[in-house]
Amino acid sequence: MNINHLRPCTEAAQWLETQPDIATAWNCCQRGDWMMWLLTKLPTPKEVSVTLACGLARSVLHLVPASEDRPRLAIEAAERWLAEPTEENRAAADAAADAADAADAAWDAARAIQADIIREMVSVEWVEGALK
C-alpha cells in the first residue's frame, strides 16, 4: 500500500515498498516512531494517542535519572486527563508535558520497545481501515 500522499520520510517509504501489504508492514515494523507518525496522520482518537504516549513513556521511566520527576509527573497529569477530561486537567497535562520536554531522553530510549507497545494497542485492521 502506498502512503506517499501522507509524506513519510524517505527511509520509511523505501522500507514500506519492501512490504507486501500494510498488515505485514504493521506487524513487522520495528520502528515505533514510524508507527506513531502514521497514527498522527490518521483519524486516531485523542484518547488513543494519549494512552499510547503514556504507555511508551512509562515503559522507559527506568531510564530517567532518579532525581528527574518531570517525565513521571507529565505522565500522571496526562493519565488524570484521560480519567477525567476536564479543561483543568488538560491544562495541567500540557504544562507538565512542556516541563518534561527538557527531559526527553526517555523518548529516545523507547524506540527499541515502542513498536510492540503500539501493536498491542492499535490493531492492523484499524490501520488498514483508516488508510482506505
Q: Convert the pLDDT of each residue in 19-43 to its tens digit.
A: 999 999 999 999 988 999 999 999 9
72 within 8 A of 61, measured Cβ to Cβ: yes
Those residues with Cβ within 8 angstroms of residue 116's Cβ, 6 or more apart along the chain or in another chain: 32
Assign 97 a pLDDT band (cuts: 50, 70, 90). Answer: confident
| Cα–Cα distance, 34 to 40 (Å, whole number) | 10
For 117, the grid coordinates are 507497545
- For 79-90, write each residue's pLDDT tens digit: 999 999 999 999
Show the CA angle centred on residue 53, arms to residues 50 and 57, nearest 5°.
140
Assign 109 a pLDDT band (cuts: 50, 70, 90). Answer: low
The predicted pLDDT at position 108 comes to: 58
The predicted pLDDT at position 112 comes to: 55
Mean local confidence (pLDDT), 102-121: 68
Position 105 pLDDT exceeds 60: no
pLDDT > 70: percent of the chain: 90
pTM, to two decimals: 0.69
Residue entry with cell 527511509: 11
The mean of the pLDDT values for the chain is 87
Q: Read out DSSP for 69-108?
A: -HHHHHHHHHHHHHHS--HHHHHHHHHHHHHHGGGTHHHH
